[in-house]
């Protein structure tokens, strides 16, 4: 890994933290998903997984250690790997919008599994049901955000990547 890559990983993870904080006043509407998808398409899954690990660790620094934050170490790399695998199949932003929507709708379910390990299945089940409306907002807003922002973001990032690596 070159020093340029290390700097890039730092910058990309900072954009995720900043993007998440900027929208944190609207519950479950976020641009982290669209950014991870765009970064995976443009920079590849290896670098983006490292970005996600830095991002998850920064969350712990910001919010303190919580059991739900552990899920961040799995759920974002999972999205990145899914995006990488779907790259060859998905030909338009509609496919990614559907991927992001499904990811948002099932987001609470993944956390419920994580919480079940610590507090039992009954707690996990309640956690999931209680959060379903938030998942509904999450998946729906992901769909809209990805559909409208992914293509302009990709275009911009490809341009910046070319300039950054002198390609």
Q: Give the footprint of another protein on this chain (CB under 8 A).
A: 27, 94, 97, 101, 122-123, 126, 129-130, 132-133, 136-137, 139-140, 143-144, 147-148
Give min distance, CB of 43 to another protein, in A: 26
**With respect to another protein, which residue has the nearer C-beta, 52 or 142?**
142
Give min distance, CB of 72 to another protein, in A: 19
Give min distance, CB of 60 to another protein, in A: 18
**With respect to another protein, which residue has the nearer C-beta, 72 or 143?**
143
DSSP string for residues in 42-65: HH-HHHHHHHHHHHHHHHHHHH--
Inter-residue contact 151 to 136 (CB < 8 Å) = no
Instruction: Enumerate residues 6+ apart whose C-beta is below 8 A from 150.
Output: 34, 37, 38, 93, 96, 97
Provide the phi-psi class of 65: left if phi over 0, else alpha when psi is between -120 and 50, else beta.
beta
**With respect to another protein, which residue has the nearer C-beta, 6 or 121?**
121
Give min distance, CB of 143 to another protein, in A: 5
State the first-to-last Cα distance of the chain, in angstroms, to the nearest integer.
Answer: 17
């Amino acid at each position: 890994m070159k020093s340029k890559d290390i700097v890039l990983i730092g910058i990309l993870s900072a954009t995720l933290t900043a993007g998440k904080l900027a929208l944190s006043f609207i519950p479950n509407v976020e641009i982290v998903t669209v950014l991870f998808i765009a970064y995976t398409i443009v920079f590849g899954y290896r670098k983006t997984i490292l970005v996600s690990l830095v991002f998850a660790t920064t969350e712990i620094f910001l919010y303190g250690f919580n059991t739900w934050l552990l899920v961040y170490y799995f759920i974002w790399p999972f999205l990145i790997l899914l995006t990488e695998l779907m790259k060859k199949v998905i030909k338009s932003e509609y496919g990614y919008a559907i991927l992001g929507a499904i990811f948002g709708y099932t987001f609470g379910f993944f956390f419920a599994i994580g919480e079940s390990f610590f507090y039992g299945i009954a707690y996990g089940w309640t956690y999931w049901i209680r959060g379903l409306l938030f998942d509904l907002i999450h998946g729906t807003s992901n769909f809209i955000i990805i559909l409208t922002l992914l293509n302009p973001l990709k275009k911009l990032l490809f341009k910046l990547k070319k300039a950054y690596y002198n390609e």
